[in-house]
Chains A and B, each alone.
Chain A
Amino acid sequence: MKNNKWKWTLGLLLGFSTSVLAQQVIDRSKLFKRESPYERYTTYRVSVTGGLGLPAGTFGDYMDKTSLRNYTLGLDFVFPKNNMSLGVSVGSQYFKNRLPRQVYNFDGQDISAVQTRTFSAYPLVVTGSYHIGKVNSLVRPYIQVGVGGAYAEVANYWGAIATGDNGFKFVAQAGAGVRVLFKKTGNLGLELGATYQHIPFTVESEGIKDASTLNVRAGLFYRWW
C-alpha cells in the first residue's frame, strides 16, 4: 500500500511536469490508465525450451526412437499492437538408436553388424508468430512459422564404420503453443509448444528423403523492455 502511494505521488509529479513541459493537459482519470510499456513499445522475449523429438516421415523408418536431446533457444521482438512477434531461434537436436546385431542382406552381399544410427541437426531459423490475445494477457496461445538453415548429419555406424551424409540444409518449421505468465504483470512465464520441422535431406543408402521431426517443447520465457 505504501508503495502504491509512492507511485501515485510520483505519477502525479510526472504528470504535472509533462503537462508543464509539453504544455499538454492530461486528464487526471486517464493519467493512471496509461498503457504498459508492452502495449506501447516493441519489447523483447527470450525463451528456452526443450523436450521430446519424434521422427516423422521417411526419417521415422530410419530412426525408430524418440529423443530428449532436443533444445531450442529463441529471441523475439514482440510488437505491441498487432499480436505478432518476429525472432530468431537456434536449436540442437540429436537422435540415436542402436540396433542389436543382425545380418543385413543386399544384392550379393551380407553384412552382420550392430548399427548405431544417429541424426543431429543445428537449425538457425527466422520465426514469425501470431498470438491470440493481447500482449499482456496471462495466457497467450500462438502459432509460429520459421524458415532458415541447418547443419544436419545422418551418420549410421556399422560397428565403428561410419556411413551417411551431412551438410547445410534448408529448414521449414510450423508450430503452435501457449505462453503463460506466472504473474499478470510479470516477466517470467511458462512456454509449451509443438513444432514440426521439415529438412529436405536425401540419404539414399538409408532410404531417407527428408529428416522431419515433431518437437514437443516445454520451457520458460522471459520478457523485458
Chain B
Amino acid sequence: MTNSRQVVAASFMAAALLYGQPTEPTFSEGQVQYFRSLFFQLGSTHWTPQLLKAREGALADQFGLDQRELAAIRTAVSDFGQHEQSRGTVIVSLSANKKSFSPSDLDAIAQIEVARAQDVKALVLRIFSELRPLSAERMKAPGTAIDEVLKTRGAK
C-alpha cells in the first residue's frame, strides 16, 4: 500500500510542479469521503471553542494552510451544515416509526446521497479555488490514501 501511495503522491506533486493547479480539479470517491467526514466533524457543536480551534490548527499544520484558506474551509463547513438541515429532516421522516426501509425509502436515501456528494464536490471545488496550488495538492492526499484502502479491500 505504501509503495503505491508514494508513487501517487509523487505523481500529484510532479503534476503540480509541472503544470500548476488544474483549472477544474476532479475528486475521487476517497476524496469525497474524506471531505464529507471532515465537514460533518468540523460542523459538530460537540467541540468546545478551544478544541475546534485546535482541530482547525491541525489542518493548517498538515496541509500548510494559511488563515485565508482556513476561512474558506470554515465557510464551506457552515454552508454544508445549512444544507444538511433539510437532508436530515428527510432522513428522519423516512425513518420515523420504521423498523426497516422500504425500497422507495432506500431510493429516496440514495438520491439524498447523490445530492450530498454533489454538494460536497461543489463546496470542495469552492475551497480549492481559494487554495494555493501546493495546499490543494496536499489536501488531496487523505482521499488518495482512502482510495487505496477502497481499492485494496481484502488485500491485507
Instruction: Indicate, yes or no, whether A interacts with B.
Output: no
